[in-house]
Amino acid sequence: MLDLKAIRAQPQQIEQKLKMRDPSLSLAPLLKLDARRRHLIQEVEALKYQRNQASEQIARLKAAKRAEQAQELILEMRAMAERIKALDVQLGTIEEELHQLLSHLPNLPHESVPISYDKGAKVILKEHKERPEFDFPCKTHIELGKTLDLFDFERAARIAGARFALYKGLGAKLEMALVQFMFKYQIEENGYTPIWPPFLGNPTTFYTSSHLPKFKDEQYFMERDELYLNPTAEVMLCNLHRDEILEAEQLPLKYCAYTACFRREAGAAGEEERGLIRLHQFNKVELFKFTRPEDSYAELDKMVEDAEDILKALDLHYRLALLPTGDLGFAAAKTIDIEVWLPGQGRYYEVSSCSNCEDFQARRGNIRYRPSPKAKPEFVHTLNGSGLATSRLMIALLENNQRPDGSVIIPEALRDYMGLEVIRP
């Protein structure tokens, strides 16, 4: 959430930054409502002051045996009390409307983010390895999955509907190998603390992570229990220190979690979205950090490197892309995507988004730290990134490691988990 005090102090500058993300965004309704709120607060405080003064005067009149005058003033105060009560109701309504407006405003982009409304205007920061070329007809992961009996999308659809996957045999074993390898790597090699969180969260949890209220319709919701299904472990990890004050020497705190992820992914899926490309349910290892503000962008670079480590260990070609303002996630001030090449699709797909949300989520969750023992608490910065999502990573492994006979070579990093070097037809 943005700082209302900062909006009051610099409305034009903040609105200009918001318009870098979306030209339709305007602070006018919020500023008008805030002015009305402050006017009402002043009016209520003035009336309450008058009421207190009158109470003292009534006491003096009663002490002086001037009951009639005291009674007249009492009647006036009753009318004033009704007025105060009515204004308090108005004030509560306005404060709720103001909160809703603030809750729907996205984070401000960092100065290093390219300004563009075109999602395709991302800046390629670097590439790792050469893009693989094949001297035989390249199969898609769907074709390879059928040949190698790795998936069963038909039975998945029968069980749950479209855009769900069923992994079977070596496909299920490879999926588990990916999760185990990535989870273990981030813990042992990059020093993240492992977390196995609940896969369900309450509305406060989703509000803190910024998934509510703006994206309410995009979440799976269990109405009877008032719980939402986890769309990414970022939601759960973001809430680990909600309403806490951390000490400076504790930071950065680095967490790594595995969860299944559940997303509505609204909109029709085209031919290029078939198979494992875009699912309602998938697996992901998530990275999350709580940092001091002055360290957060260095920690973002390190988080990207931590995610890259997985792709390097799996010997895959990938590239880093700095997203423009028009493609930033709601809570993100800066995002770097890691994209792998999927030869069966002939294009790059994102397997990790690493974002610095600065103090946007921390304000919602009241997550603070104390810079020094006697200092006033300040908001931490929060960072998140996939480390990685398995579905598209599975595609990359199959399509980039396929051989002319339809077999697929298992990367060396996964062979101990799989117990074999090649998946054969």
Give the active site residue among 175, 286, 392, 399: 392
Any long-range contacts for 74-80 (C-beta under 8 Å, 24+ apart)?
77/51, 80/47, 80/50, 80/51, 80/54
Which position among 15, 350, 370, 378 bears the catalytic label? Answer: 350
- The single residue of 21, 163, 278, 364 carrying the catalytic annotation is 278
Which of 209, 210, 296, 353 is labelled catalytic?
A: 353
Choice among 21, 163, 210, 263 that is catalytic:
263
Burial of residue 230, with CB atoms counted within 10 A of its CB: 0-12 exposed, 13-18 middle, 19 or more buried: buried
What tokens does 114 get? 């390219």
Crossing angle for the helix pair 170-188 and 390-400, to the nearest 10 degrees: 110
Q: Which two tokens stand for residue 414?
A: 């996964």
What 3 state SS string does the chain have? CCCHHHHHHCHHHHHHHHHHHCCCCCCHHHHHHHHHHHHHHHHHHHHHHHHHHHHHHHHHHHHCCCHHHHHHHHHHHHHHHHHHHHHHHHHHHHHHHHHHHHHCCCCCCCCCCCCCCCCCCCEEEEEECCCCCCCCCCCCHHHHHHHHCCECHHHHHHHCCCCCCCECCHHHHHHHHHHHHHHHHHHHCCCCEEECCCCEECHHHHHHCCCCCCCHHHCCEECCCCEEECCCHHHHHHCCCCCCEEEHHHCCEEEEEEEEEECCCCCCCCHHHCCCCCCCEEEEEEEEEEECHHHHHHHHHHHHHHHHHHHHHCCCCEEEEECCHHHCCCCCCEEEEEEEEECCCCEEEEEEEEEECCCHHHHHHCCEEECCCCCCCEECEEEEEEEEEHHHHHHHHHHHCECCCCCEECCHHHHHHHCCCEECC
- 131 as an active site residue: the answer is no
Q: Note if 274 is an active site residue.
A: no
Active site annotation includes 370 = no
To the query of whether residue 278 is one of the catalytic residues in this protein, the response is yes
Task: Reply yes or no on whether 263 is catalytic.
Answer: yes
Residues noted as catalytic: 263, 278, 350, 353, 392
